Structure formats: structure tokens, C-alpha cells
Chain A
């Protein structure tokens, strides 16, 4: 420790003693530290030397003045900038939270002990980080301290992708928190570092994630940032894009409902890595309930209608399409069936009327086709079928940005249901269980849309998400999610995420109970984080960490 320059001395007082969990130290003159810096102190007890590591939580500056009045008096009674020969007695001190001791000594750090900044090795030991080349290491970002030390932070994959822990949630204000960029960094690292995972990404905004297989225009500095993690600065591999089908309009000759530039889109179709998804009645009848997953159904009438549609022979016609389905529903809605005595649903006409209205507005989009086209230029596919064919190493990007909220829910629900069914052997007839990727990661933004805090209890999407988050880690279904406000997400969903990432947010959000367990200085810091800085919480790390991460290696939209 003597070779590194000391930064301060531990101080314990009557009113502010040191404890097993924290200690205070005053800083030398001209010493600069920041919250989240790691420091170390020798802690000798019973003749045994050990080192206690702490993370700086808060920094204070005090003088010997008991109040502002005294400071006012000391400035010659209110002279701004009053010059004095003697500097007021003042000091800067910091409070650090104990994160580790290398000899299992948890006695409070004694007063007078010298404090040193931790170097890279110290930080890795103190935090219990895996080495960069460890098989289970997944890069989580770069930790930078005030004394210029940079340490790549490595997650333990057992706690990100299971079985010990799983699921990752990122929260923060749009545009500032870089949630998507961080998630993509993690996914890129996972694609590089693992050989048993597949990834499904839902693009919810513009064309942000629709070029992830194309080389980005990074300068040398940004490329070098990836070296710290031993990851190649390359775009994603084995990417397939799925766009909502749209009838051809204009002169572009594209039939994808997307914001992506048509030239890029055409390239993707030409390369065979893009398809347009549709929904037909015969194939996707069971997804109707997903269409209405965010509609309140307190009396379970919609549930009853879904059950009736699933089981009744009235709707079991193989030739039925959306148009004929709507007509059939109308028969129930206008009371025709009831009047004729053919209504076996035992569901009130009013309920059928409501259902009919909902259906009529919902299935007007072009993705609802009466039948699949054979024209290769339309490249129509059933999304669930494509997802069920996912292989290890694949990255499926499903664009839902231009769909309305209800359809987005349906598509998302379709994806997670398919993955769930795939993992539960529902596709055993179509593929060998060994060929199914061991782990499938689903990344979705705006999780609060699919699992809001006040979700209808019978929401099928919510139920699937609860299944995934509560049991998915042992089944190999991993959810990576993001939202603006963590407090808007269902408690059980976010509670089951073992890794939580916090980007820049606002003061109202940090006042919510979700942030109660976070030390005040850290939650306050969340309102001031720079773009690209995040605070991470992971079960293996003994404290919250502030990290930055590299620029995305793929092409980004021009803004």
C-alpha cells in the first residue's frame, strides 16, 4: 500500500462511529474522488492484517462554522468576496460503504487508518469480478475511477442467463438513458461469448435496430473501447428481420410497414434475411386473445368469448378467414343467433357487441390477411412459425414500431408464447429438442406496455411474462427488458430480474418505493447521469456500480 499515494485518513467520532457496514475518512488537500470510487484500508485485528474495501457513497465538505449566520458574520457581515488572510478551517470527508474484506474481518475500520485508492486488481477482488477470459464472464461495462483506473466489469453468466439468476431490466428516460444501446451491447457480448443462446429483439422505435448486421462507422477510439472486453467490434451475425406486412404503396415497391430506408430494406430482402409477417385466421385464431390482452375484462366476458371461439364448431371451419370471422361474430352481436335460438355461447349479446367492435377496429391492419400469398416478392410468413425455427446463434429482429399499441401487444405476446411453447415441447413434432437453443433471450423495450403495474389480472401476456420471469431461468427463456419508468412495471416482473440497470431518470421517479433500497446519494446521482453512464445492480457484485459502455458496432440510423 505504501507505493500508492494515500488519499485520506479514517475518522471515527462519538457521534459518527464507524461500523461493520461503513466508515468515514477525511481527504487530504487537493484530493479528488467521486461517488462509486473504490478505496481500501488496512484493518488489523488480533495481529492479523487484512484489507477492507469500501465504495464511496457520499462526499461532504464542512467548516468549523456552526451556521450560515456565522459564515455571514465571517464575511465582514455580508461582504461578498470578503478577502481574508486566514482560510476558514474546513475539510472534505467521505462516507464509504464496506463491500469486502480479504480476510473475513468485519470489524469496524479503526480511527486513524490510512486510506488508499484501489487499483484495478483491488477492484476486481473487492467486487468478486470474474476475469475477462473466464468462460462465464459476460461484459457489463467499464468502471472508471477518479484516479484514472479503468476496470472492465464482468457479469457472471450464471446470474444473467441462468440457472442461478436471470433476466435483466433497464430503466431510464428516453433519449438520455441509452437503454437500447446498453441492451444491444450486452446482447452482442452474449452472442460472442456463448455458444448456446439465440436472441429475439423487438424493434419498437423507428429503425433503431434494423441495421444491426451492417458495419458501423466507428473511429479508432470507439473501436478500441471494445478491446477492453476482448470482444470484436463487429456487427451482429446471423440476423433475420421480420417486418409487418403492408400492401404495396407508392413507388418504392416495398410491402413492409417499417421506417427503415427502402434501399436498405431491399438489400435485406435480396439477401434473404428479411421477411414480412402476417396473421391468418386459420393459423392464428388462438392469438385473438393476445390482441385484447390490455383490455379490462372484470367479468371475464371476453375470456368466455375466447373460449367459445376456440372450442365452438361455429368457428372451427378450416376455410374461415378474418372476413368470415367478423361476419360470424356480427351474427352473435346483432342478436341474430340469439333470436333464432342457435346461440349456444350463453354469452350476453351486449358482450358480443363489445367484442365485435373491438375485433372490427383491431384487425383492420394489413398484417391480418385472409390467406398467405405465394408471391415471393411479398415474402409473407407466419411469425410464430419462423420463431419456432430459431437456431443457436440466431438473432431475430421483429419490427413492431409502426404498429399500434394493441397490435404490438399481440405480436409480442405471439413471440413469447411461441418461445414458451417451443421450450415446453409444443413443437416436438416439428423439430428435435436438441436443436432448440439452450437459452433464448427476448429483448423488448417499453415493458410497461406489456406488464404495467395495474395490468388486468387475466392478461395472457402478463401471465406469460410472469411464467418467464419466475420460472424461465431454469427453462432457458431469458427476458431483457427496458422501460422509461421502472415504477410503472408490474412488481413481480421486475422483482424477478436479477440484474437491474439504471440510466438517467427524474426526481419524481426516484421518489417512488422502487428506489427505497438504493442509497440516497446513488438515487440522486441517477438524475444527473451523463448519456452513456449507467448504474448497475447484479447479485454477484457487492455494491451498485457506475459504468460506461462502448459505442454500438453496427450502423445507426442517420438522425
Chain B
């Protein structure tokens, strides 16, 4: 299978070492998705003064503002290693990327709304640029019938990254976010998102700033993270770890909204936490807590804060999403939203099998 890739490599005097193709997902430890710690704790970023936490009422018949759920996923594989003419030893990484959005109808049934997939072959930018273009065009053309894919570059910076493979994976990850944004763009263009029919995006929004051209598309979107860094200190005035505050949150309580700027300072986010599931039934004090991010748009920026009513509505909707659960199927069930879990299932079921994909190259 490596014959075709080797053919192009050899023409440019690049030595390719093939190996047993291996899935790298279990090797790559995904860090917390907080890139920026640029918080402004001088004042809370919402209209009401609520102290350190606020109890939300539990409605007898809960309402929800969410109808769409988006998730992205990727699978990465090591295909081989190359030695460049300049004697650089670099890995060749392949990946499948998929982003999908599900729609929940009024009866509570989930449906696929959109699904985007892309395959990548990542080569080090240590390869000469013209050689790279030659390999890219030739290989993409020849592989078109077997496996449509894109050949892209990754840049390994010894000072920033520990391993070249991780750099390549991070690039693939960013392609996944591109797919998510592409889906969101089209959803906004087709006017499916409304304040009563909002979108939950699985994960943090703050990785997106460099890619966001038009922030307004996030008007009816929130990001919900099931894992977050409990040791952040910059959210609190007294440098308390955020985990300490969160451990004191009771069921149906939320923190105030905290202002956060993107790492390039171009975008502003509102960040808050809600405990959506009962605390005393679990051992981990952070179980049941989700982190919510919403992009601050014109109104929020003008008023220097989010409307607390909106924040309460969003938080109450999320509390209502606490049933059913994916208990028994996902270890993160306590912090996971079931419709997001189903969306994730849909996305992951769209991947080709590892053995099949890895041996297509």
C-alpha cells in the first residue's frame, strides 16, 4: 500500500520507512481546552450582582432553548517516517476528521442535520516546498478514487511542542474545528438557529478565534465543556483555584459570568459554570459541573456584560438536559449532555475502520 507514496517520495530523494500502521489516539493525551487565561475579574460580566453563586429555580415542566448539537472528532494514525534530503527524521501522520450536527425534534428524537468528513495526510514542512507541492498534487490525484484526501504540512517547533507527531495531530485537530465552523456558517445562512432553537457546541469556543471571520454567527451558539482545568487561578480575584469554588456549587447553582479575552485579544467571551446534576451522589466534587462559554457580541460589549436573564435561561435549559444520561456508556457521563453524546456517537460511527483506513496509504 505504501508503494504509491513511496513512488513520489523517492522521486524527491526522500526515504520513506513504512511500519505497522498504528492508531495514535490512545497515545495522544488531550490537554484541557483552555488556551487563554486572559480573564478579567475586576467585575462580573453580567447585569445582575450575584455574588459567588446563584441558585436557579427548577421548573415543574422544564423548557429548553436548544435544538441543535454539534460535535467534531478525529482519528489519527502513524503511517511511517521519512528522512529528508537534509537528514531530518519526521513522522508521516494520517487522519480522519469528521464534524456533525444533530437536530432534536419536538418529540425528542434526534436526527442527523449535517455531517462533514475529510481525510488528511500530514507531512513535515522540513520537505522542500516545491517537492511538497509535487507530492501533494500527484498523491491527491492518484488517491482520489481510493480515498479522497488532502496532503498538508505541519511545522514542528522544538520550543513549543514535545513531539512532531503531536504537532501534526494538533493541526488535524484544527482542521476539525474548520469543519465545525463551516457547518455553523451554513446553518446560520439557512436561518435554522434562533433564540428558541440554539446550538450547543461540544467543547470550548476559545480555540476558534483565529478562525472566526464573522463573530455574529455565534449569536445562538454556546460551547459546553465537560472537562476543564480546575486549577485555573485567574478566574478568581483571590487567586483561589476555580475548582475550590466549584466544589461548593450545589445542584442547579451557577457561578457568575466571568469575562475572558481570546489570546489575540480580538474576541471576548463570557464564561461560567453550572452544576447540572446532584452532587452528593458522586465521589468527585466536580462531577455534574459543565463549563459554558458564549461569545460576547455587540450588545454584551456595549453593556459590558451578558443579560443575567439570558444566562439563567441558558443555565436552566442545561439543567433540564440532565436526563437522560449516558451512564454506563461513557465515563464522563456525569458532565456529559445526552444529545451531545448521541451526536458524538453519530460522528464517530461515520469513521472508516482503523485497519481499513490505515492501510489505504
Taking Cβ atoms with an 8 Å cutoff, the residues of A that contact B are 29, 64-67, 69-71, 73-77, 79, 82-89
Contact = CB atoms under 8 A, between A and B. Distances in A.
Contacts of B62: 83, 85
B327 interface: yes
A86 B327 contact: no
A69 B325 CA distance: 11
A73 B327 contact: yes
Main secondary structure of the interface of A (DSSP, over half): loop
B360 interface: no
Contact of B325 (A74, A79, A85, A87): A74
A73 B104 contact: no
Nearest to B62: A83
B110 A86 contact: yes
A70 B64 contact: no
B328 A84 contact: no
A86 B328 contact: no
Given A83-B61, A86-B338, A86-B342, A64 B326 contact: yes
> Interface size bucket, B side?
20 to 34
Contact of A67 (B278, B325, B328): B328
B61 to A, nearest CB: 7
Interface string B339-361: 10010010000000000000000
Given A69-B327, A70-B328, A71-B324, 12 more contacts: A66-B328, A74-B327, A75-B323, A77-B281, A83-B323, A85-B64, A85-B320, A86-B324, A86-B339, A87-B107, A87-B109, A89-B342
Contact of A86 (B278, B281, B321, B329): B321
Given A83-B61, A87-B108, A76 B323 contact: yes
Nearest to B108: A87
B54 interface: no
Contact of A74 (B61, B108, B110, B323): B323
Interface string B176-207: 00000000000000000000000000000000
Contacts of B12: none
Contacts of A76: 322-323
The secondary-structure label for the interface of chain B is: loop
Contacts of A86: 104, 108, 110, 321, 324, 338-339, 342
A66 B324 contact: no
Contacts of B329: 64-66, 70
Contacts of A77: 278, 281
21 contacts: A67-B328, A69-B328, A70-B327, A70-B328, A71-B324, A73-B327, A74-B324, A74-B325, A75-B323, A76-B322, A76-B323, A83-B61, A84-B323, A84-B338, A86-B104, A86-B321, A86-B324, A86-B338, A87-B109, A88-B324, A88-B338
Interface string B48-71: 000000000000011010100000
Contacts of B64: 85
Contact of A70 (B66, B110, B325, B339): B325
Nearest to A88: B324
A29 B107 CA distance: 13
Nearest to B325: A74
B92 to A, nearest CB: 31
A86 B343 CA distance: 12
Contacts of B323: 74-76, 79, 82-84
Contacts of B342: 86, 89
Contacts of B61: 83
B281 to A, nearest CB: 6
Contacts of A83: 61-62, 323
A268 to B, nearest CB: 66
Interface string B296-323: 0000000000000000000000001111
Contacts of B104: 85-86
A83 B327 CA distance: 17
A65 B328 contact: yes
Contacts of B320: 85
Nearest to A63: B324
Contacts of B281: 77
A84 B324 contact: yes
Interface in B70-113: 104, 107-110
Contacts of A64: 326, 329
Most A CB contacts (10 A, CB to CB) among B110, B327, B329 go to: B327
A86 B109 CA distance: 6
Given A64-B329, A65-B328, A70-B327, A85 B278 contact: no
Contact of B324 (A29, A69, A75): A75
A85 B324 CA distance: 8
A137 B322 CA distance: 62
B346 to A, nearest CB: 10
A87 B329 CA distance: 16
A385 to B, nearest CB: 76
Contacts of A67: 328
A67 B327 CA distance: 9
A74 B329 CA distance: 12
B69 to A, nearest CB: 9
Contacts of B325: 70, 73-74
Contacts of B324: 71, 74-75, 84, 86, 88
Contacts of B333: 73
B327 A84 contact: no
Nearest to B340: A86
A85 B108 contact: yes
Nearest to B69: A86
B219 to A, nearest CB: 22
Interface in B107-124: 107-110
A35 B104 CA distance: 32
A77 B322 CA distance: 11
A77 B324 CA distance: 10
**Among A65, A74, A79: residue with most chain B CB under 10 A:** A74
Contacts of B108: 84-87
A67 B107 CA distance: 24
A111 B61 CA distance: 42
Residue of A64, A74, A85, A89 with highest tally of chain B CB at under 10 A: A85
Contacts of A70: 325, 327-329
List the 8 closest A-B pairs by CB distance, nearest first: A74-B324, A66-B328, A70-B328, A87-B108, A70-B327, A73-B327, A84-B323, A74-B325
A75 B325 CA distance: 8
A276 B184 CA distance: 94
Nearest to A71: B324
Contacts of A89: 110, 342, 345
A283 B358 CA distance: 94
Contacts of A82: 323
A352 B329 CA distance: 80
Contacts of A75: 323-324
A89 B333 CA distance: 15
A74 B320 CA distance: 12
A71 B323 CA distance: 10
A478 B298 CA distance: 93
